[in-house]
Amino acid sequence: MADDFALVERSSLGLATVMARKDISAADIGRALGMPMPDGPFESTGVDMSLLGTGPGSWLALCEKPGEDWADGLAAKLDGLASLSDQSGAYVVFRLGGARARRLLQQGVALDLDPEVFPPHRVAVTMIAHIGVILWRCAARDAFDVAIFRSFATSFRQWATATAAHLIEA
Amino acid sequence: MRIPCPYCGERDAQEFVYRGDAAPVRPAGDDGFEDYVYLRDNIAGPMREHWYHAQGCRNWLTVDRDSCSHAISGARLARGGTA
């Protein structure tokens, strides 16, 4: 069972939403941050941060090991270009891995997650069991990350556990 | 029914909030404002309408749809102002 599904919380992440000001392009923001910017529903990775495209002119910034002033530093770099809002406490990010991770997700996601259509670094803002999620495929093709508003995290975990149990029985 | 969001790709209509006919234009003054807010034609056939992608990219879309066949011929972001 452990080989089939593994659901782990990625803790202590730095998270922030970035919303471009009027007439500011993804490339403008990329220049200010010194990293490639996704201009669509994709993830791009910089030195210590990755950015997920969540909508036109909006992104979720994710930092693995944020310092205390990470969000403030980011806001300063983007001054005049984009609004930044620290969301580190707002989302729980789960990593779903294992041989049958995709099979599990397909029970709840109304999107084709075949790697041909949904390759690594592809992002989707959608819902699972009526819970809003930001979903992306990790560089390792068999794993997915799912960001969920913190107050829904328990419900999501229950859905995942119940669905996995159902798949194992089937 | 699946709606082709220009940012997210094709998505189930469940992810969207329906607004209706996109034709009414906001009046400059108070005259006709109530009609603008509340009155929508219920067109049978091809129409241009507004949908909000609430569970996706959180943007308003303008969608060309035939309300009889549900065939969708186009969708774009409403923010461009191209109606």
Give the ipTM of the model, two decimals please: 0.90
> Is residue B82 one of the residues assigned to a domain?
no
C-beta atoms of A125 and B55 within 8 A:
yes
**What is the value of pTM for the model shown?**
0.92
Using the 8-state DSSP alphabet, how is residue A122 labeled? Answer: B
Q: Does B43 reside within a domain? A: yes
The better pLDDT of the pair A71, A142 is held by: A71
- pLDDT interval class at B63 (50, 70, 90): very high
Close Cβ partners of A170 (under 8 Å, ≥ 6 residues apart): none
In chain A, count H helices and then E strands: 4, 10
Is there a contact between B15 and A55 if contact means CB atoms under 8 Å apart? no
DSSP string, B16-70: -EEEEES-----SSSTTHHHHHH-----SSEEEEEEE-TTTT--EEEEEEETTT-
Residues of chain A with pLDDT > 70, as a percent, come to: 99
Question: Residue A1: what pLDDT?
Answer: 54
Instruction: Indicate which CATH number applies to the domain containing B12.
Output: 3.30.2270.10
Domain that holds residue B7: 2-77
pLDDT bucket at B81, cuts 50 / 70 / 90: low
Domain count, chain B: 1
C-alpha to C-alpha distance for A150 and B58, rounded to whole angstroms: 19
Q: What is the mean pLDDT of residues A58-68?
A: 95
Question: Which residue in chain A is spatially nearest to B5 when comparing CA positions?
Answer: A55
pLDDT band at A3 (very low <50, low <70, confident <90, very high): confident
